[in-house]
A = this chain, B = another copy of it.
Amino acid sequence: MNFPSKLIEDAVTEISRLPGIGKKTALRLALHLLKQSEAHTEALALALSRMRQEIKYCKICHNVADEEECSICKSHRRDGSIICVVEDMRDVLAIENTNQYQGKYHVLGGVISPIQGIGPEDLKIESLIQRIEKASESEPVKEVILALSATMEGDTTAFYLAKRLKEKGVSVSTIARGIPVGGELEFTDEVTLGRSIMTRINYNTD
């Protein structure tokens, strides 16, 4: 595309570096901003810039936070004996929205992915081990719940973590994989269906 303005070209180039946004969408967004007030664009640019520069990560769970410690780690209402291990902040938000979990979190910052060159040392795994070791006196960690995506990378990470954590004597569990609530059996893929049969829940044990 031959842009009539270098300014627009630069903006389109930068916007289209975002994931899932191509040149055409970037141009549409740029022209939208030009139609809005200057204050609108300034607010956007400032919010992005401030977020990137001033963001902090909780020193305990590594979730995004405005302070040294996030509100969940600071809270005395949350059960510190259970730690839910997730990939990133979006997973924390998703689990928080269920209102079903009262424990704490640990944000890995990714999953093990040999293809993308991400190994265990690139994730906050040592920090999790240390957290469990340090916590043992006051409020010992009893259980670690692995809430990772049901992908090859997620499973690899879960397998690695389970091996490392068992040495520490904590109970390790993973969230159930199965048919989504509301999902119809006949439309469920074979792998999910197969797994949900293998990991079936026995009503008698309750």
* A interface, CB within 8 angstroms of B: 1-8, 10-11, 13-15, 17-20, 25, 27-34, 38, 40-56, 58, 63-66, 70-72, 88-90, 92-93, 96-97
B64 touches A51 (CB 8 A): no
- Whether A63 lies near B11 (C-beta < 8 A) is no
Bound-state Cα–Cα, A26 to B152, Å: 26
Copies of this chain assembled into the complex: 2
Q: Please determine whether A4 and B89 come into contact, CB atoms closer than 8 angstroms.
A: yes
- With contacts A17-B40, A19-B29, A32-B19 known, is A1 near B52, CB below 8 A? no
Q: How far is the CB of A123 from chain B (nearest CB, A)?
A: 13
List, in ascending order, chain B residues with CB within 8 A of A34's CB.
51-52, 55, 64
Interface contact B64-A4, CB-CB below 8 Å: yes
Q: What is the distance, in angstroms, from A143's C-beta to the closest C-beta of chain B?
A: 23
Least CB distance from A118 to B in Å reads 11
- State whether A1 touches B47 (Cβ < 8 A): no
A14 proximity list for chain B (CB < 8 A): 43-44, 47-48
- B89 engages A11 (CB within 8 Å): no
**Candidates B18, B33, B52, B72; contact of A4 at CB < 8 Å:** B72
Chain B nearest CB, measured from A23 CB (Å): 10
- What residues of B have a CB within 8 angstroms of the CB of A58 in the complex? 4
